[in-house]
Copies of this chain bind each other. A is one copy, B any other.
């Protein structure tokens, strides 16, 4: 199968996406019920003709995906569920069940895991999702949370990543960049705390973005809203790695290009002001920040009237022929190629603590 015995390639060389692609390139599908395997937000299983089942899984590792110095365990439990439900909603499906596996070192007392589960169960209750299974085991170091989410949808409603067509409109929900800037504020406070443990930070002005980081909400409302508007996106993905990388996913999967308009990217005023405070370009943060768990989708132009003016949606660009490439049109009317600079869990740089 793999034929490079003896050589040693570090995980960082391939990166997360490259590694998954590399390891799964020999996967063969043999079950009639597997409609779509690896390569989308969730797998699509068809056990009957009425309703498809969608399945997605995500693993969160202490020291890689979260830092317990500023992430309370209850929030962590809640967020871990959100990350997974977001993938189900990105299929335009309804999330119905999750399983949760936890590995925790002995430094965690039972009460710490109770905190974690309180957050998990709060998420389940709020999102009407059933916790139906899991595993709890010890680890030699740290805390690892692995969640699998299951959902359902009518076959015709499901949105994959590959359906975008030239002239489709590019739409995003909510606003972007908040989760990343929230993390920057928390990182800064952690450094201040290290120097002076008695410092009393005033985090009030940052409430919105800290909440975006610590307690994100998955967009359960969007599949329902789209149905009521009678809009079925031609493709959809959730924004976990930053707008730029998600646009590139949709374009590559559908073999199309895209034009994104900088001035149309939705930003919360807090994000704009904190970006100024940190002297960072807010567009860069929206493009590369990640962890916003908003949804990015494409719709046929005929559906424009159905979503225009809806405060949940921002039309940020349109799909083009593949040969035209993927670009952002800046406020200064410059055309710049889009680059994926999303979260890479194997990168050994400052991103590693993201």
Contacts and interface: CB of A to CB of B under 8 A. Distances in A.
Contacts of A34: 96-97, 130, 132
A253 interface: no
A37 B96 contact: no
Interface in A94-145: 96-97, 99, 101-104, 106, 108-111, 113-115, 117-118, 121, 124-125, 128-142, 144
A12 B142 CA distance: 16
Interface residues of A, number: 92
Copy total for this chain: 2
A57 interface: yes
A225 interface: no
A133 B99 contact: no
Nearest to A84: B135
Contact of A134 (B26, B38, B108): B38
Q: Is the interface of A mostly helix, strand, loop or mixed?
A: mixed
Contacts of A53: 45, 47, 53
Contact of A109 (B11, B108, B135): B11
A240 to B, nearest CB: 11
- Cβ-closest 10 pairs across A and B: A43-B132, A146-B146, A2-B114, A141-B141, A9-B110, A8-B109, A63-B140, A59-B101, A37-B132, A148-B148
Interface of A: 1-2, 4-14, 16, 19-20, 22-24, 26-31, 33-34, 36-38, 42-43, 45, 47-48, 50-51, 53, 55-59, 61-65, 96-97, 99, 101-104, 106, 108-111, 113-115, 117-118, 121, 124-125, 128-142, 144, 146, 148, 150, 152, 345-346, 348, 352
